[in-house]
Chain A
């Protein structure tokens, strides 16, 4: 049996609500989607029990009615686990994953600046990657964002 199938079985055995949410799109690529409430325990299980010890990147999505994030985790034998979680657009609050991966800070700051997420537990710091004088309520990677007057100056 392939390693990725073993991982999927383990995940399904632990969290039976995930059964229809896991896909192996091609060898060594696992995609799974969780709800906001289950995210913390699934994420913890992947890292602590399934040994996905490396955070490759975090991708942010604007899915029109909601905002989503995808955590790309890599484990042994080059297997990538892509864990997606969605939050409502009017209340895009997520918890930081800095307790697992310190390097997540820079990705999470990008989510805050470019897509307007609110990350709980993110330490106070400078804006990144936008400039300090960027307006507070504008998020350039959102689909409904239009460049405003200050852009033309």
Chain B
């Protein structure tokens, strides 16, 4: 691994940039995501920063079940993100479709459309659960890096 890549991985783990995307949520999970990001719960102490465009983001934070109308848009947002990219599904609906599963306008959970790295259940997922999920995702990345170094 080159030095530049090492620095990039280090920076990614120390300060992941996220983009939040509502795929059809009722807004409850969105409120909780905002609560997790803002000073009361303060995800920013882990270097997490909310970005305005998927092109700057490492992590796609999705809330809500994937509706049939949003499916294409979700894929487009996902494809705009640079590699390596991670997806976090926040809330029960995002994890499985929740109560909307089988509904005529619902495709299912986020993983019905794009690969998901972390699931955070809850209706809505509490800010503490979101922080826990994000930290677990970052820890798993760190572990992967250490494994690579040892090998």
Contact = CB atoms under 8 A, between A and B. Distances in A.
Nearest to A139: B104
Interface in A65-122: none
A130 interface: yes
B45 interface: no
A131 interface: yes
Main secondary structure of the interface of A (DSSP, over half): loop
Question: In the complex, which of the residues B69, B104, B105 has the most CB atoms of chain A within 10 Å of its own CB atom?
Answer: B104
B145 to A, nearest CB: 37
Interface residues on B, range: under 10
B56 to A, nearest CB: 30
Contacts of B68: 130-131, 134
Given A145-B104, A147-B104, 12 more contacts: A129-B69, A129-B105, A130-B68, A130-B105, A131-B68, A131-B69, A134-B68, A140-B104, A140-B105, A147-B102, A151-B102, A151-B104
Contacts of A147: 102, 104
Interface in B32-70: 68-69
A147 B68 CA distance: 14
Contacts of A130: 68, 105
A145 B69 CA distance: 20
Interface string A136-153: 000010000101000100
A90 B100 CA distance: 30
A131 B107 CA distance: 12
